[in-house]
Structure formats: structure tokens, C-alpha cells
Chain A
Amino acid sequence: MYEALVIGASAGGLHALTSILPLLPYDYPLAILIVQHRCREADSFLVDYLNERSAVRVKEAEPGEMIRPAHAYIAPAGYHLLVERDKTLSLSIDPPVNYSIPSIDVLFQSAAASYKNHLIGLILTGANSDGSLGLKMIKDYGGFIIVQDPLTAEADVMPKAAIDKVVADKIIPIDTLGHYLAECDYVPEISVAKGTLHE
């Protein structure tokens, strides 16, 4: 059964995230971890904006925090976000990876090592190739890979790079991606988990 969804987004990400997160139900069975590239001085706009529009709780990731379902944790500007094996969050100010801090690869690789085959990786719009290596590691551990259809991306370099690097389980246009994730139909186990959550 899947436990977490990691999302990587760069240029055009605000729009893409806004068309996904608000569609997820308040009792969404997965924890969501997000790296959205933005400048180091960025304030809390992104987090507040998404939280106001979403039923799941959107918040900035804090070090040591326990990861919980139905929560979306966003990497703070200027910090890498990582997942520890005990399913807590940690931050670092290690050097940029792929010129990025936070870096999608850093989140995805640490999440893959912790969640192994219980993880879903999603790459959205972006103008660089951050996330591809992370996606490959998720795949190696038996996780599930989704990529935004590059034709529907504001910047198609990142989803294209992802598709080049790994065989995606699903390539989905942005206008149906939110519904797809919300329905949880893509994996039978999640439908079951969703059912039990309501009991």
C-alpha cells in the first residue's frame, strides 16, 4: 500500500499545484511532500495560497516533524527537504543540487530510501532536469511514477527529462491529474485504504 506522494515542480509550478492540491479530499490517505523551486528569499505566499484553497493541510515542512497522511509539506525556501527512515522530516543547507535548493532529487532520493515501494513520485512542469535521478531511484525501489504530460506543461523540459530517464507508469495532462490523484483508483490498495478510512 502506498503511503506517500512526492511532488517536484519548478517553473509554472504554482499553477500546476493549484490545479492538483485543491482537488484532494481532507482525508486523503497519502502524505504529500513537495519541492517547488523558488528563490531563497521567498516568503510564505506559496504555502498560504495553497492552504487556503485546499482541504488537505498545506504547511511548510519543519525539521523533526512526523509525516502524516492528508498533509502536504512544502520544502522551505533555501533548504533541502529530506525524509528520515523513521518517517520524520529533516532539512539541510547543503550545497545546491542541480543548481537548486531545495532540490527535487534530494527529496525524492531520501523518500525512496525510506518509503521504498510505498511511494509515488510525480514530476510537474519545469525548465530544468531536477528530479529525474530521484524518479529513477523511486522506480528502482518499486515505487509508482507519474509525470505531467509535457504538452500540458508551462515548461516541458522537466517532465520530458523525467520521461527520458525512467519509464513512467502514467503520463497525465494537468487538467485531469488532480482528479486522478484524488480518486486513488490507480492502485487498488489505496481504494481499499480509502474505504477503511471512512469506517
Chain B
Amino acid sequence: MKPEDMIEFEVNQLLEAINFRYGYDFRDYSRASLERRILNRVSLSDLGFVSEMLPKILHEPDFFDLFLRDMSVTVTEMFREPQVFRKVRQEVFTQLKTYARVNIWHAGCATGEEVYSMAIMLKEEGLLARTRIYATDYNNHSLEIAEKGIYPAEKVKLFTQNYLASGGKASFADYYLAKFKSAKMAESLKEHITFANHNLMKDQSFAEMHLIVCRNVLIYFNPKLQDRVLGLFKESLIPRGFLLLGDKETLEFSQVKSSFEEFAAKERIFRRLIHV
């Protein structure tokens, strides 16, 4: 038997161990990406086999922390896919303005770029004062970065371009403080954001939401976990509440499909129906 034929078995053991020891259940993640990340860590840590990670995971919490970081590295940026943010500003906010109080949940917020993007738009549309944004992730390391809201200065150019393309009404420079080689997001935005640890794999719904943003998270889950998470979103949304997914994500094959209507198909904005 070749070493590569044992990888599947070794990864199964590793995921069992992680679930047993730390209560994180990655067994319902899409396997191909997960294996790629695990094999990267094997190589970075100068290990020969996936199974050599097993004792380290079980007995070295710091090593597990590394694993968690590996698992949550994704590519994100402010106003990623500006046309989506433009649509939210133009169409979804019009609806949100009819509520006295607005709750928004960014599920799987990673390092927070999209959370601040949303806060900026809310501010420009006069909605921020009555809005509470809950930004959650299972990874405390990502959450720390999100909460600090400090991003590398070299990204500001891209952020600014995206901001303008999304229909920004002021100057992006109004929303951050340039310091050394970084940009720190304005405190006035942060006041309306609550950062918290929430694990989509096992945690429950925690408040009633008017809008849930969860982009490019479901692509990492298998259909079973996708259904769990979408069920959680349905439960958390008020009737007529909005769900914003990533541009390759769909409700088409999910159990909650009949509970939502397409609000803006191209931008992947769905709306919860009233009676289902």
C-alpha cells in the first residue's frame, strides 16, 4: 500500500481526535480543501505523515491552535465583489430602513473586512445608529484581528477602489486612521459591532436578525453541515429577513429552499418567506 493511500484513513483519525479533545467537529467539512490544508501543515512542521500530527494535536494545545489558524485562512477584502455591496446598499437597505432597530449577523466573519464594509455603508445610509452588527467566527485568532480592525496599508488601494465601485458616497480615507504601515478602522464604526466566538458546527441561534451575511463559508461544508447552518439562519431570520451568500453558493439543493425567495439572484441575496 502506498503512503498516499493511507491519507484518508489518517485524516479520519485526526478529525476524530480533534473532536474528542477539543469539541471541534471538522468531519462534515468538504474533504479536498481540508486535506490540502492538513498536508500543508504536515509539510510546514517537517513531519512525514498526517498521523504524526495525532500526538501533537492530542497533547499540545498550541499545535491545535496552529491547526485552527490553518483552517480559517481565507481570501477576503473590503467590499469584495463591489456590485454585491452596491445591491445591498440600493435594495436591501431600503427595506431595513422600515425597521426601528436592525440586527445584522456576519457569520464566519474571518478577519472582519466585510463587517467594516457593511458598517461604512450603514453609516452613509443613515442606518448605523440603529443597527447592531454581530460579527462571529469560531476562530479566536481571526476574531482578534477583526476586533482590532487594523489592516496592512498596501491593501488600502484595493479597498478604496472596491469602496468606490460599490457606490461609496464619501472618501474611504474618512473611515480609517493611517499609522505606520497600517490602516486602523475608525472607532465610530466599531461601536456598533459586537465580536463574538460562535461555532457554526455546533452553536445555536442567539438573536433575531434582519440580515445575515455568510459568504464563502458554505463552500467548505458538506451538504449535511450546509443544511444545519442554513437551518440555523432560517431560524434566526425574522420573516422577510435577508440572507446574503457567496457568489457560487446556492439554496438550490438545501432543505430550506422552500422557505426563501430569490431577492437578487445574481448577487445571491435571498429573502425569508413569511409563513414557512
**Which residues of A come within 8 Å of B, CB atoms?**
62-64, 76, 79-80, 82-85, 90-96, 101, 106, 109-110, 113-114, 137, 140-141
Contact = CB atoms under 8 A, between A and B. Distances in A.
Contacts of A94: 33, 36-37, 73-75
Given A64-B253, A82-B30, A85-B31, 15 more contacts: A62-B248, A63-B30, A64-B223, A79-B219, A83-B32, A90-B32, A90-B219, A92-B219, A93-B216, A94-B37, A94-B73, A110-B32, A113-B7, A113-B35, A137-B4
B8 interface: yes
A91 B4 CA distance: 22
B124 interface: no
Contact of A113 (B4, B33, B37): B4
Given A63-B248, A79-B248, A101-B75, A92 B33 contact: yes
Interface of B: 2, 4, 7-8, 30-33, 35-37, 73-76, 216, 219-220, 223, 246, 248-250, 253
A84 B30 contact: yes
B30 A90 contact: yes
Contacts of B73: 94-95
Which of A95, A110, A113, A141 is most buried by chain B, counting CB atoms within 10 A of its CB?
Answer: A113
Contacts of A76: 248
Contacts of B220: 92
A141 B4 contact: yes
Contact of A84 (B7, B31, B75, B250): B31
A110 B36 contact: yes
